[in-house]
Amino acid sequence: MIFQNIYISSWGPSTTLHLKEYYRALAFWESAYFKRKEVKAWVKDMELEEIHYVPEAINVIGGRFVNQLFFRVSEDGMLIIGQEVKEIKKDVQRMEQFLTKKMNQLWANLFSRGAALPKVFEEIESRHPVLITLRDASHDDLAGVFREFDVIPHKKIHLEKGEVWIGETLVLVNNADYKKEETDKMIEQLLFARVYEIQLERFVKGYEVLWNKVSSIRDQKFIQQTKLARVHDHIFNIQRQVNFFKARLNQMQHFLEWRGNLIDEYVNDPELNRTFKRFFMSLNSSQKYLQELWGMLSNYVHSTVSLIGFLYSDTERKNIATLQKMFLISTVAAIIGLGGLAIVDVQRVLIFGGLAIALSTFVHFVLFKVLAKYKRITLFKKDIDLEEEK
C-alpha cells in the first residue's frame, strides 16, 4: 500500500463575489472593506507561494503555500487543502489547524460584516471530512485505515479504474488512474457530498437544541412576574436563530442542485457517476425533510412568541394602570392636605402630605418589588395549536 495525497475540507454557502474578494486578499493583500494593513496581518503567516484564478462551471482559485500545502477554493464556498502523505495522523492534525486558524479565519475576517452565526450553531461541533488517495491497497489495507480513524465504511464503489470507500468523515480512493483534472474534480465532488451531509447533521442537532429550549418554556404552567421580561427576550432570541437556520437551509438547497447538475461534467467514471446521482437525490430528500421540520419549529416558536408577547404587554399595561391609580390617590391626598391650610397650621399639612407620599411609595414597593416575586402568571392552560400553512 502506497499513500499518495491527503485532503481535508470545509464548506459554507458563498458566491463568486466572496471568491474574488478572497483571491484579492490572498494574492494582493487588498480588500474592498478593510485596510491593507489589516489584510496583511491576516495573510502574512500563510506564506503564499503561488495562486491562480480558474474560471470554470464553478469558478475556483488554487495554489500552494511554502509549507507544501496546496489548496482549492470554489465560489460556492468549498475550501480544500491537501498535501503529500507523510504521517497520516500528524498530517490531519496539522491540516485541521491550518484550515481552521488560517483559511477559515481569513474567510471569517473578510466577511465578518455579514449575518452573525447563531450561538447554538457555533456550539455544535463542525467536523472536516478527510480524503486520502492510495495505490496498491488491499481490502485489508483499506479496512485498516478506517479502523485507524475510527470510522465505519458504509459505501464501497468499484470504478473502471480503482475503487472508492466512503465513510461518514473519511473517504479512501484507491488506484484511481485518471488525469489530474479528472481526479481533482472527482475529489471535490466526493468532499462536497461528505461536508454537505455533515452540515445537515448540524441542522438536526440544532433543531433538537432549539426545540427543547422552546418546550422548556411551554412546559411551564406558571412563571414569576419578575421573570417574564427575561423569558420574553429569550424566546425572541430563539426566533432569530430559527430564522437563520431556515434561511441557511434554503441557501444550501441551491448549491446542492448546482453541484448535482454538474455531476456528468465533473465525474466521468460511470459507476461513480451513478452513485453520485443517487446520493445527491438522497441529500435532496434529507434537505427537504429538514426544511419542513424547521418550518414546523418556526410555527411552534411563532405561536409561543405571540403568547409571551401578549402576556408581557398585558402585564406592562396592568402595571401602568396600577401606577396611575396610585398617582391619583397621592394627588387626592395632597389636595386634601392643601385644603386644610385654612384651618390648620402649615407644619401639620406638610406632615400629612409627607405621610401620604410615603404611604404611596411603600405600597408601590410592596406591589412591584416584594409581591411581584410571588405573583405567578399562567402561561399555558392548554397546548397551543400550531398554525396551519395556507
**The architecture CATH gives domain 1-114:** 2-Layer Sandwich (3.30)
pTM: 0.78
- Classify the phi-psi angles of 77: left when phi > 0, otherwise alpha if psi is within -120 to 50, otherwise beta: left
The dihedral sign for the CA sequence 322, 327, 328, 333: positive
Domain residue ranges in the chain: 1-114, 190-390
Cα-Cα end-to-end distance for the chain? 60
**Residue 74 three-state SS:** strand
Structural contact between residues 64 and 49, judged by C-beta atoms closer than 8 angstroms: yes
pLDDT at 390: 34
What does the alpha-carbon distance between residue 9 and residue 325 come to, in Å, rounded to a whole number? 66
Structural contact between residues 13 and 143, judged by C-beta atoms closer than 8 angstroms: no
What does the alpha-carbon distance between residue 325 and residue 319 come to, in Å, rounded to a whole number? 10
> What does the pLDDT profile of the chain (390 residues) look like in tens digits?
999 999 999 998 899 999 999 999 999 999 988 999 999 999 988 989 999 999 988 999 999 999 889 999 999 999 999 999 999 999 999 999 999 999 999 998 998 765 566 666 666 667 899 999 999 999 999 999 999 999 999 989 998 888 999 999 999 999 988 888 888 889 999 999 999 999 998 899 889 989 998 888 777 766 666 667 777 788 888 888 899 888 889 889 999 999 999 999 888 888 889 989 999 999 999 999 999 999 999 988 888 877 776 665 555 555 545 555 555 555 555 555 555 555 555 565 566 566 666 666 666 555 555 545 554 545 444 443 333 333
Return the number of other C-beta atoms located less than 10 Å from residue 62's C-beta: 16
What does the alpha-carbon distance between residue 226 and residue 83 come to, in Å, rounded to a whole number? 58
Alpha carbon dihedral 303, 309, 311, 312, in 10-degree steps, equals 160
Q: Is 346 exposed, middle or buried (0-12, 13-18, 19+ CB in 10 A)?
A: exposed
pLDDT at 45: 84
What does the alpha-carbon distance between residue 155 and residue 274 come to, in Å, rounded to a whole number? 13
Return the number of other C-beta atoms located less than 10 Å from residue 129's C-beta: 25
What does the alpha-carbon distance between residue 176 and residue 40 come to, in Å, rounded to a whole number? 39
**Residue 126 three-state SS:** coil
Q: What is the DSSP string of 156-172?
A: EEEETTEEEEEESSEEE
Q: Which residue has the cell 484579492?
A: 24
pLDDT at 383: 40
User: Running DSSP on this structure, what letter comes out for residue 75?
Assistant: T
- Residue 2: HSE in the Cβ half-sphere, 13 Å Cα cutoff: 5
pLDDT at 233: 81
| C-alpha cell read off for 310 | 401578549
Q: Which residue has the cell 458563498?
A: 14
| C-alpha cell read off for 300 | 411552534
pLDDT at 221: 66
Question: Max alpha carbon distance in the chain (Å)?
Answer: 114
What does the alpha-carbon distance between residue 8 and residue 97 come to, in Å, rounded to a whole number? 11
What does the alpha-carbon distance between residue 160 and residue 154 come to, in Å, rounded to a whole number? 20
pLDDT at 384: 37
